[in-house]
């Protein structure tokens, strides 16, 4: 009985110590992570956040539409302008994309159009300074769309170009940028080079025959 009596004060003292430790806990700790920003909606997004989400969604839809246009081989322009670069003065659309013509084959089917999107136009195109309005025209594509022409040549962009670039120049010895007078820039020089190569080959064959 004496041992049990002596333990009671010890147990009571230990209880007081534990109670004191609990009282020392900072009440602010219980509220961590529960503060809500002003203007929060029921789903945890504020008004400002909702506005950002809406804007992002709209931008994504526009980008998807642009990618779809490229994939199906279409390019839309509302006008023609003249730009100056390493190739001299040449035609671009109203977005600054370099325009090309094919000097070997004016026809460009569905597969060709994926790499060389035809420049379609809805209505009368605007004409910038330096563009010869008398050379501007349109032709109907097999899909019924209206494609811009210049000097009776169908106009195309190049899928790998960014505005201001001319990466399609001379591709396949067929695609060339267009001068304001309607001539394909660099096509004559390329033809002359091909002719020189052919002449050199003929001369070599002749020498071999003589030998």
pLDDT band of 209, cuts 50, 70, 90: low
Contact at 8 Å (CB) between 156 and 97? no
Q: 178: Cβ–Cβ under 8 A, 6 or more apart, which residues?
A: 90, 91, 99, 100, 101, 150, 151, 153, 155, 184, 185
pLDDT digits (tens, 9 = 90+) for 51-75: 332 333 444 345 434 544 545 577 8
* Torsion from C-alpha of 133, 131, 68, 53, nearest 10 degrees: -110
Enter the tokens of residue 164.
């201001």
Per-residue model confidence (pLDDT) at position 1? 47
Task: Write out pLDDT tens, residues 154-179.
Answer: 999 999 999 999 999 999 999 999 99
Q: How many residues does the chain have?
A: 211
Token pair listed for 169: 């120049």
**Whole-structure pTM over 0.75, yes or no?**
no
The Cα-based distances of 45 to 33, 35, 36, 37, 110 in angstroms read 15, 13, 10, 9, 46
């Amino acid at each position: 009985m004496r041992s049990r009596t002596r333990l009671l004060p010890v147990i009571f003292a230990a209880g007081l110590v534990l109670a004191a430790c609990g009282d020392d806990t900072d009440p602010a700790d219980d509220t961590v992570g529960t503060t809500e920003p002003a203007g929060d909606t029921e789903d945890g997004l504020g008004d400002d956040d909702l506005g950002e989400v809406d804007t992002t969604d709209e931008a994504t839809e526009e980008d998807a539409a642009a990618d779809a246009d490229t994939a199906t081989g279409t390019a839309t322009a509302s006008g023609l302008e003249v730009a100056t670069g390493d190739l001299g003065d040449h035609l671009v659309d109203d977005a600054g994309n370099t325009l090309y013509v094919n000097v070997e084959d004016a026809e460009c089917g569905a597969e060709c159009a994926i790499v060389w999107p035809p420049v379609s136009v809805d209505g009368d195109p605007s004409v910038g300074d330096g563009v010869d309005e008398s050379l501007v025209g349109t032709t109907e594509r097999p899909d019924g769309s209206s494609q811009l022409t210049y000097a009776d040549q169908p106009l195309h962009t190049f899928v790998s170009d960014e505005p201001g670039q001319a990466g399609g120049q001379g591709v396949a010895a067929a695609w060339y940028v267009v001068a304001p007078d309607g001539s394909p820039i660099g096509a004559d020089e390329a033809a002359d080079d091909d002719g020189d190569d052919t002449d050199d080959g003929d001369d070599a064959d002749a020498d071999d025959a003589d030998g």
